[in-house]
Amino acid sequence: MRIDLHVHTAPKSPCSNIRPRDLIEEAKRIGLDGFCLTEHQLLWDAGEVARLAEDSGVKIFRGVEITTAQGDVLVFGLEREIRDIITIQELNEMVREAGAFAIAAHPFRGFKMFGVGQLGLSLDQAVKKKILRFVDAVEVGNGRVTAQENELAGQVAEKAGLLKTAGSDAHELSALGTWVTVFEQEFADEKGLVEALRSGRYSVASLR
């Protein structure tokens, strides 16, 4: 199953210009099996997602991108919204209590690191990033960062012993599928998605 784990839509994410229904046709066109709606600080209503996905042939899952003081985190399986900026430790406690799954999103995106190249950040320094101690996986493929930043994320995940996922971080339709997570097993709901993420039986790829 080819799933784009990181997608934003308008108007729920003000920074996106994607209309949710347009995602379905584009997903079919590029060969995606499904995608995850991961708005900033906002969780879609389950009924609304079910209606959107109905009879479409495309699987749609809910997640949320949460801003912490240590960086952004994609969370799946957490049935709550967090509007304020919290610490990664606080989020980790909520994730563990809910049996959810947390992914460090674009952990080495340039503006957050004040220029990785300029700082000459080494792998040993990068792996000490605090957020990595409180997540289950690292997003090693993200459509809105550079190839070098994705490569560093992959090296860090390997060294830290964390799972590797990917998602487009699409804010415009043409970006959908730039990075995807390819799961070995089939699943139909969000519980299945969380279980599949925990299993580690997947790889990352690009459809564009």
What values do phi and psi take at 133, rounded to 5? -80, -10
Average pLDDT, rounded, for the chain: 94
pLDDT band of 115, cuts 50, 70, 90: very low
The rounded distance, in Å, linking the Cα atoms of 128 and 22 is 40
pLDDT at 113: 47
The 10 Å Cβ neighbour count of residue 80 is: 10
Strands 34-40 and 59-68: parallel
Residue 173 in contact with residue 146, Cβ under 8 Å? Answer: no
Q: For 177-199, what is each residue's pLDDT tens digit?
A: 999 999 999 999 999 999 999 99
Phi/psi of residue 9, each to 5°?
A: -130, 160
Q: What is the mean pLDDT of the segment spanning 82-93?
A: 96
Predicted confidence (pLDDT) per residue in 10-64, tens digit: 999 999 999 999 999 999 999 999 999 999 999 999 999 999 999 999 999 999 9
Q: How confident is the model at residue 120 (pLDDT cuts 50, 70, 90)?
A: low
Ordered by where they begin, the domains of the chain are 2-205 (3.20.20.140)
DSSP H helical ranges for 65-168: 88-98, 110-113, 116-119, 123-126, 147-160
* Structure confidence at residue 208 (pLDDT): 86
Q: What is the mean pLDDT of residues 79-104?
A: 96
